[in-house]
Amino acid sequence: MDLLDDASRSGFTSLPPLPKTEHMQPLASDAQTPDHWIPRDGRMIRLTGKHPCNVEAPLSALFNAGFLTPQNLFYVRSHGDTPRFSAKQAHEWKLRVHGLVENEVEFSIQELKAKFPVVTLPVTLVCAGNRRKEQNMVVKGLGFNWGAAGVSTGLFTGVYLADVLKYCKPKNPLLSAYPNYDGPIPGRARHVVFEGADELPKGKYGTSQRLSWALDRSKGMIISWGLNGEDLSPDHGYPLRLVVPGQIGGRMVKWLQRIEVSDCESQHYLHYFDNKLLPTTVTADQARNEDRWWHDPKYIINELNVNAAICSPAHEAILELNSHTPTSQKVAIEGYAYTGGGRRITRVEITLDDGETWKICDVRYPEDLYRMYPIHNHPYFGSIDLSTTDMSFSWCFWKVDIDVKSLLGDCDAGFVAVRAMDEALSIMPRDMYWNATSMMNSWWFRVAIYRENSGKALRFEHPTVPGNASGGWMQRLVEDGADPRYPRLGGNSASSGLTSLDTHRPHESLAGDSYHSIMINPDKAATIVTLSQLVEHANGESPSPWFIVEGHVYDATAFLSSHPGGEQSIRLAAGEDVTEDFMAIHSMDAKRMLRDYHIGSLEQPATPSTAPMPKYDTLNDTSKPFLEPKVWKKVRLVHKRRVSYDSRIFRLALPDEHQPLGLPVGQHIYLRIRRVDEASGKVQIVQRAYTPYSCNTQRGFIDLLVKVYFPSGKPLQGSAAFAGGQMTMLLENMTIERNQMTLEVKGPIGEFTYVGNGQIRWKPNHGQRIVKRLAMIAGGSGITPIWSTLKAIADECSTSLLSHNNSVEVWLIYGNRKESDILIREELDHLSRRMDGNLHIWYVLSSDELNAGWRMGRGHIDLECLQQHLPPAPSTTTGAELGDTLAMVCGPPAMEASVSAELQKLGWRVEQDIVFF
């Protein structure tokens, strides 16, 4: 049954192509085993000898097969002989549902199809032992040597387990009264036990699920008879099996014969003595001899963890370098990633320097095609429709192109490593969690890179090869007497390029000369830049943002469009020595990036006074605006006002109470605090950007509305307690009577300005633009940059400064957790009254403990909320046209990312229509 052929008239040719099982014959290697009758693919790698059949595909063959894996390349996990059933036996197959149910029933496969809706789901199956050999290379555990191909994906067709169970009506289900109790309560349905037909030395294979999960359709558990439009093959459970998306393969009973609703979990032998993640302190010998570990319910494995692997370049792949332009060559690094529980992989990153820096990979989700092109009433597949669920049960593919020059370090060997993160923010760990079963291995997947042929080629080596074959960099380290848990490659070994030196040490923060070295391009270190060259580039007819850090000159022209703070943030530094500011506020990654923009060292002048220096307070001319973009000016904290339990308005006084601040509406300032650490005597500098709460016409002071991040109290296990926000705790602890620290401001900074009378300036290439509709979306303290524009528009309305033709209508969606978290609510409601119907405010609260009388939004700012409470997206005839509608967004990064994605679904264009602060 070909899904694409049958559905092509409806536009479904965009779906992943259905793989066909290749024609196969029984293998000679199986001739003397009970499985001699089964056709199998000779490419599959045997992990446990001839019998039973436990195999995985070559990683490259699996990856190249694409999103859907043909049955012949699907990994196989068996514990004994594969049951053999004829077509007649399959037609007469009975699935018995019994136990604590009101209706004990036996279903044939035809009856299942007739009584319940047929559904098809794309599901990734993963053995809990995937990547096990890497753990076995450290210390041999209880399991055999899986490589990284113990994973496969297919379209499974069947009926929802939940539908079958509800038809049979579990008795007295205890679903939530004792959520933390795992023992049996007699007579209360709590578990669902599944049993297969395979006969094993210690009884049939069986396992169980919680009844509450099994009754939940969203979990996607199905009783399946089809895979990729074909009958299940014998190795994969023909004629009937259980499929449990998001969980390990060991929970998916094959050759399914019996389902029992019970008051206790499965009592099958392999339900207890398999698929457990024991503490790392438990040795394999202890696990063999001490049953108590296996009976502890805390150690059971159900859901998959986050995992990823590099599939290309393949193991032992050779990349010949271009003899003419090797440094411009690129190599594609790509592979798969998956996670469990219906969660989605949200991030895949690779590192070339053991985690010091990371590069984001492009991620592709083929399963989303079944959301875009759902299918209903198909004669074989029934419904394939993911458009109504956010669950993700399939692997994704990632890719990133790397410059070959970045792989050509000073050593003869190095690593490329990958890690993935899911939407629960679970992330693959740097270090291995060894355990006696060697299961759920998900430390960074590392591929070694070696120079070959006198530097004319690169060779790639994976950590292991599956089964008992030799190979992989982990084996090399073991043979050299090194601990493969803490790999280090390098040196000039003629044979392998590996060194057995080094044990893992925590990364130390760089300081002093170490900072200096990572920011300097060694090829440019001897280049001298004169002071006149610096001034010419900074102030000439076509100025370039050349600036100084620690005596070296950098040209950031190429980074203007990418700088998170906007182009203006860099241009303001042109010609300046910005060492103090740069070192105080930039991360290690930013310091390392500086090397790419290094052009040389600044000449040493004859007299130090001629060198550019950072500018600070000079004589304050009160006839001019106080703020200057390149000059730090001192202010004093003179008042604190408590707005909520964790929010304050801090008033900072200017030297003269009549001096205007000089801050255009919508722009922000930098606030810097300088303090001397009493213990070390060192000067500490903390710097942040803020949009003042006070209006632009204010004289003599600045008001900042700030959310205070307090210490977290007790630390989480294995981590230090959160000490609180660095800047906000300094402000919170500062006293009015005695300012122990120096406060300085400079500005204005920002690309967005509300000019007045409905006109805005945003981005240099956009010029001035008239807006008639403003959609404002804020979260938490993100209300502050939005407030300044909103207040200016309201002031114009109340003083009739806004002309009728340029009147601005404003919609504000403001998200918080609780009602008490809504900042400046009284002021916002007051503005709404002043604007006489031109301001529409919708508050959204996410807490589960809201007052029953709350009449506005509940939950999060989602697509429905935006659609109902904002104006339509700008209507333009061309993609480049600027409409008269604009969106302004400010909030936590996760909220901004979500809002951006949803606005784009509604037709908003990020570059032309959405301002992010």
**Active site includes 480?**
no
| pLDDT for residue 451 | 87
Residues 143, 195 within the same domain: yes
154 φ, ψ to 5°?
-155, 170
Is residue 177 in some structural domain? yes
- 739 and 802 part of one domain: no
pLDDT at position 727, please? Answer: 82
Q: What is the mean predicted confidence (pLDDT) over 840-852?
A: 87
Residue 697's CATH number: 2.40.30.10
pLDDT confidence bin for 220, thresholds 50/70/90: very high
- Phi, psi (degrees; rounded to nearest 5) at 532: -65, -35
Active site residue 354: no
| 491 within some domain | no
Are 560 and 634 members of one domain? no
Number of domains making up the chain? 5
For residue 426, pLDDT over 80 is answered with yes
Least confidently predicted of 209-213, 328-332, 875-879: 875-879
Residue 94 has pLDDT above 80, yes or no: yes
Highest-pLDDT range among 65-69, 267-271, 584-588, 801-805: 65-69
Least confident of 443-457, 487-501, 621-635, 887-901: 487-501
- HEC string of 118-187 equals EEEEEEEEECCCCCHHHHHHHCCCCCCCCCCCCEEEEEEEEEEHHHHHHHHCECCCCCCCCCCCCCCCCC
Tell me: do 330 and 285 sit in the same domain.
no
What residues make up the domain containing 380?
Answer: 307-479
Which one of 243, 278, 299 terminates a domain?
299
Q: Which of 250, 280, 299 is where one domain is finished?
A: 299
Asked if residue 697 belongs to a domain, the reply is: yes
Which residues make Cβ contacts (< 8 Å) with residue 9, sequence separation at least 6?
A: none
Which range of 576-590, 832-846, 877-891 scores highest in mean pLDDT? It is 832-846
pLDDT at 505: 29
pLDDT reading at 618 higher than 70: no
* pLDDT score recorded for residue 802: 52
Q: Give yes or no for a contact between 870 and 813, defined as CB atoms under 8 angstroms apart.
A: yes
Question: Of 30, 235, 274, 412, which residue is the catalytic one?
Answer: 274
123/126 Cα distance (integer angstroms): 10
Q: Which residues pair with 762 in a beta bridge?
A: 752
Q: Name the region of 257 (left: φ>0; alpha: ψ -120 to 50; beta: rest).
A: alpha
d(CA 239, CA 468): 32
At residue 584 the predicted structure's pLDDT band, cuts being 50, 70 and 90, is low
Nearest to residue 419, comparing CAs of 496, 325, 345? 345
* pLDDT exceeds cutoff 80 at 741: no
User: Within this chain, do residues 524 and 666 fall inside the same structural domain, yes or no?
Assistant: no
890 in catalytic set:
no
Split at pLDDT 50, 70, 90, the class of 17 is very high
Calculate what percentage of the chain has a pLDDT beyond 90.
44
Q: How far apart are CA 651 and CA 841, in angstroms?
A: 27
Greater confidence, 151 or 488?
Answer: 151
Both 885 and 804 in one domain: the answer is yes
- pLDDT, average across residues 432-440: 95
Average pLDDT on 643-649 reads: 83
Q: What is the pLDDT of residue 124?
A: 98
Same domain, 757 and 734: no
CATH number where 844 lies: 3.40.50.80
How far is C-alpha 911 from the geometric centre of its chain's CA atoms? Answer: 23
Q: Are 274 and 210 in contact (CB under 8 A)?
A: no
| Residues 336 and 295 both lie in one domain | no
Residue 852 and residue 841 share a domain? yes
Strands lying side by side in the sheet with 362-364: 307-312, 330-338, 396-403, 362-364
Kindly state the tokens that stand for 290: 């001490």
Please check the confidence at residue 613 and state whether its pLDDT lies above 50: no
- For residue 244, which of 162, 346, 337 has the smallest C-alpha distance? 162
How does residue 186 score in pLDDT terms, banded at 50, 70 and 90? low
Which one of the listed residues 30, 54, 127, 913 is annotated catalytic? 127
**Is pLDDT above 70 for 742?**
yes
Tell me, yes or no, whether 671 lies in a domain: yes
CATH at 326: 2.60.40.650
DSSP 61: H
CATH number, domain with residue 590: 3.10.120.10
Quick one: pLDDT at residue 398? 98
What integer best gives the mean pLDDT of the chain?
Answer: 83
Report the predicted TM-score, pTM, of the whole model to 2 decimal places: 0.58
Q: CA-CA distances (angstroms) from residue 457 to 312, 402, 452?
A: 16, 15, 5
**Residue 691, number of CB atoms within 10 A of its CB:** 26
772 and 889 both lie in a single domain: yes
Classify residue 335 by its DSSP letter: E
Task: Report pLDDT for 837.
Answer: 81
Establish if 267 belongs to a structural domain: yes
Selected residue with higher pLDDT from 666 and 431: 431
Reported as a single tens digit per residue, the pLDDT across 443-496 is: 999 999 998 887 788 999 999 999 988 899 999 888 877 889 888 654 433 333
The bridge status of strand 768-770 relative to strand 759-762 is antiparallel
Domain end point (choices 563, 593, 609): 609
| Most confident region among 23-27, 155-159, 179-183 by mean pLDDT | 155-159
| Same domain for 597 and 737 | no
With 70 as the cut, is the pLDDT of residue 512 above it? no
Long-range contacts of 22-27 (CB under 8 A, 24+ apart): 22/70, 22/72, 24/72
The answer to whether residue 625 sits within a structural domain is: yes
pLDDT at residue 362 is higher than 80 = yes
At 176 the pLDDT is: 46
Question: What is the side-by-side order of every strand in the sheet holding 256-262?
Answer: 105-107, 95-99, 256-262, 191-196, 206-210
CA distance 858 to 843: 9
In a domain, 1, yes or no: no
Is residue 484 reached through a cis peptide bond, with omega within 30 degrees of 0 on the bond before it? Answer: no
* Residue 216 pLDDT exceeds 90: yes
The arithmetic mean of pLDDT across residues 191-203, rounded, is 92
Q: What is the mean pLDDT of residues 750-754?
A: 82
Q: Which of 130, 145, 228, 275 is catalytic?
A: 275
- For residues 350 and 554, the model is more confident at 350
Distance, C-alpha 663 to centroid of its chain: 37
Return the percentage of the chain with pLDDT > 70, whole number. Answer: 82
Predicted pLDDT at 40: 96
Statement to judge: residues 432 and 529 lie in one domain: no
| Residue 42 counted as domain residue | no
